[in-house]
Amino acid sequence: MTIRIAMAQLDMLVGDIKNNTESVIAQSLIARDEQNADVIVFPELTLTGYPPEDLLLRPSLRPRIEAALAQILEQVHDIYVVVGYPRDIDGELFNCAGVFYQGQILGEYCKQKLPNFQVFDDKRYFEAGNTACIVAIKGIKVGLSICEDIWHPEPIAQAKEAGAELILNLNASPFHIEKMGVREQLLHRRASENQLPIVYVNYMGAQDELVYEGGSFVVDAKGVKIRQAPWYETGLYCVDFTIAEDRQPRLEPISGDIASTLDVEASVYQAMVTGLREYIEKNRFKGIVLGLSGGIDSALSLAVAVDAIGADRVQAVMMPYTYTSSMSLEDAQEEAKLLGVEYSVLPIEPMVAAFMDTLAPEFEGYARDTTEENLQARTRGVTLMAISNKKGYMVLTTGNKSEMAVGYATLYGDMVGGYSVLKDVFKTLVFRLCRYRNSLGYVIPERVITRPPSAELAPDQIDEDSLPSYDVLDEILHKYIEQDMSAEAILASNEFDRETVYRVLRLVDLNEYKRRQAPTGVRITERGFGRDRRYPMTNGWHIGD
């Protein structure tokens, strides 16, 4: 005898309980009728999407969930549906997974391990469960667990103790650069220490800063991966288990397709594309507009925008000023041509001159400084926002993680925008990603990758006049921001000079106010500048500690 389980690697819109419920019903019927599945397993909090944040505090949530559960029970039969939802039990909210069959809930599991670190805030909303939930499906004792549960030994050991022969794990496990490998090692350990096969089902899609890359998979009781669903694709992916006649061993998964793992650049690039596409489509923007400077950040952002929503919905705007080189003008035009997007050239001299004329009495007696540079960036920001308002296009902001770390960007200038694909990507990785994108098809002119980065806000300016080289800067930033090292610990390796390290760390600390005002963007690392890192803006902390 066999049991076929469909892993529903799907995208849900946070808060859209009605459509998410309809999708659960439709996919369950497809799994039953077209794939002959016995069971369908959805990701964590299927009905609300993840994370629903403070929508979970709305009083109207509870009746809507109850109505959704009733609808699934009524409309789906002849397949076991394993679905996630928040549920009020005796006045307390739990993060639940239920097994629905023939109009009944056969069992309901409450998540036990509530993550409250990095981007996760589960304890703000949920009470923790404390018991295993085992449901018999075709004579097999199936144990349920929800995402963070699998990262700890106790819930799975408890399920095993309660008789589980198979674990179904519902996830909302967001991408970061090392996550794919980490999950596989984790499942290997958890399955082998309990001698239990595990079916791991994840979302594919994105929600604000979080990207879900899919990659649902199955390990056997030894922890060996026997099925790997593709990355960055939605779908129903089935796995079969045989149930031995003598029931020794009782349950054996049958190997299926194993999608190959993506390398770092491919995976990060796909995360950026997915994050942006989902943000644009779920928020119903008509398109994307961005300032195209001829520099590398806007070039890469443009390529991601086109890959996300198509060239016909992307507009690039070159806004030259006195300091814009002919090389920048040529390269920006070339990028737009290679990618086939609408391209406009809007010189900003008259607008900047008008500002300067109006401000002249105000500035009398003051020397020229960054104020005038920032005016150029702000004029571009105003221009892009006007196009955004008029056409319903979202402004894609282009600042990378290195710049956002040290505040190398102008508030209300090049920081305007609704979303960023580079805010968690260091400049050194920006270069690698451009090479990766060009390996798929040449879209970023070689000169854009090889010329020294410049903000072109003053004559002959290059970034490395005011910042250390990006190799050095990124290494210091990685140690301070992502590894929490102090200045003295960073200096201990003798790789950097004292003055540079203290200057960089001081800039990072001082610029928290800028990052707070920056648009959201795709989380790529385990320590992005979003919900991962919540520092006070006003503080008396000693720089570098």
Ligand X SMILES: NC(=O)CC[C@H](N)C(=O)O
- Binding-site residue numbers are 173, 179, 291-298, 374, 398, 403, 514
Q: Which stretch binds ligand DND (CB under 6 A): 115-123, 264-272, 405-413, 481-489?
A: 405-413
For the CA atoms of the chain, what is the radius of gyration? 26
Q: Residue 155 interacts with ligand DND (CB under 6 A)?
A: no
How many chain residues are in contact with ligand DND, going by CB under 6 A? Answer: 17
Q: Residue 198 interacts with ligand X (CB under 6 A)?
A: no
Q: Which of 9, 27, 410, 525 binds ligand DND (CB under 6 A)?
A: 410
3-state secondary structure of 259: coil
Pick the closer one to ligand DND by CB: 69 or 429. 429
> Out of 96, 108, 111, 479, which one is annotated catalytic?
111
What would the two tokens of residue 493 be? 């390796």
Q: Which helix (H) or strand (E) holds 95?
A: strand 92-101
H helical segments located in 242-348: 264-282, 296-309, 326-339
Instruction: Tell me if residue 123 is catalytic.
Output: no
What is the rounded distance in angstroms from the CA atom of residue 187 to the CA atom of residue 248?
A: 23
The residues in 379-398 that bind ligand ATP, with binding defined as CB under 6 A, are 380, 398
| Per-residue contact string for residues 332-351; x = within reach of ligand X by CB under 6 A | --------------------
Q: Closest separation between CB of residue 206 and ligand X, Å?
A: 14
Q: Residue 319 interacts with ligand ATP (CB under 6 A)?
A: yes
Q: Which does 374 bind (CB under 5 to 8 A by kind): ligand X, ligand DND, ligand ATP, none?
A: ligand DND
What is the rounded distance in angstroms from the CA atom of residue 229 to the CA atom of residue 7?
A: 9
Q: Which of 148, 297, 307, 456 binds ligand X (CB under 6 A)?
A: 148
Question: How many residues in total does the chain contain?
Answer: 545
Q: Residue 295 interacts with ligand ATP (CB under 6 A)?
A: yes
Cα 40 off chain centre by: 25
Q: Which of 102, 370, 389, 439 binds ligand DND (CB under 6 A)?
A: 370
Q: Which stretch binds ligand DND (CB under 6 A): 10-18, 404-412, 435-443, 525-533?
A: 404-412
Instruction: Tell me if residue 373 is catalytic.
Output: no
Residue linked to tokens 């919900």: 531
Q: Closest separation between CB of residue 480 and ligand ATP, Å?
A: 20
Q: Residue 151 interacts with ligand X (CB under 6 A)?
A: yes
| Per-residue contact string for residues 90-129; x = within reach of ligand DND by CB under 6 A | ----------------------------------------
What is the rounded distance in angstroms from the CA atom of residue 509 to the CA atom of residue 517?
A: 15
Given the DSSP bridges, would you call strands 210-213 and 204-207 parallel, antiparallel or unpaired? antiparallel
Q: Which of 93, 375, 455, 524 binds ligand DND (CB under 6 A)?
A: 455
Q: Which stretch binds ligand ATP (CB under 6 A): 56-64, 289-297, 465-473, 500-508?
A: 289-297
Q: Which of 363, 442, 513, 535 binds ligand DND (CB under 6 A)?
A: 513
Q: Residue 213 interacts with ligand X (CB under 6 A)?
A: no
44 contacts 170 by C-beta, under 8 angstroms = yes
Pick the closer one to ligand DND by CB: 276 or 377. 377
Q: Residue 290 interacts with ligand DND (CB under 6 A)?
A: no
Q: Residue 147 interacts with ligand X (CB under 6 A)?
A: yes
What is the rounded distance in angstroms from the CA atom of residue 69 to the CA atom of residue 51?
A: 19
CB burial of residue 459 (10 Å; 0-12, 13-18, 19+): exposed
CB burial of residue 69 (10 Å; 0-12, 13-18, 19+): buried
Q: Which helix (H) or strand (E) holds 170?
A: strand 166-170
What would the two tokens of residue 236 be? 């129903």
What is the rounded distance in angstroms from the CA atom of residue 24 to the CA atom of residue 19?
A: 9
What is the rounded distance in angstroms from the CA atom of residue 488 to the CA atom of residue 485?
A: 8
Binding residues for ATP: 291-298, 398
Instruction: Tell me if residue 111 is catalytic.
Output: yes
The residues in 30-49 that bind ligand X, with binding defined as CB under 6 A, are 44
> Out of 96, 110, 147, 238, which one is annotated catalytic?
147
Q: Which amino acid is at 187?
A: L
Dihedral over Cα of 517, 520, 523, 524: its sign: negative
248 Cβ neighbours under 8 A, 6+ residues apart: none
Among candidates 345, 297, 353, which has minimal Cα distance to 319? 345
Q: Which residues bind ligand X (CB under 6 A)?
A: 44, 115, 120, 147-148, 151, 172-174
Q: Which residues bind ligand ATP (CB under 6 A)?
A: 290-293, 295-298, 317-320, 324, 380, 398, 403, 414, 453, 455-456
Q: Which residues bind ligand DND (CB under 6 A)?
A: 370, 373-374, 377, 403, 407-411, 413-414, 455, 457, 463, 513, 537
What residues are labeled active site?
Answer: 44, 111, 147
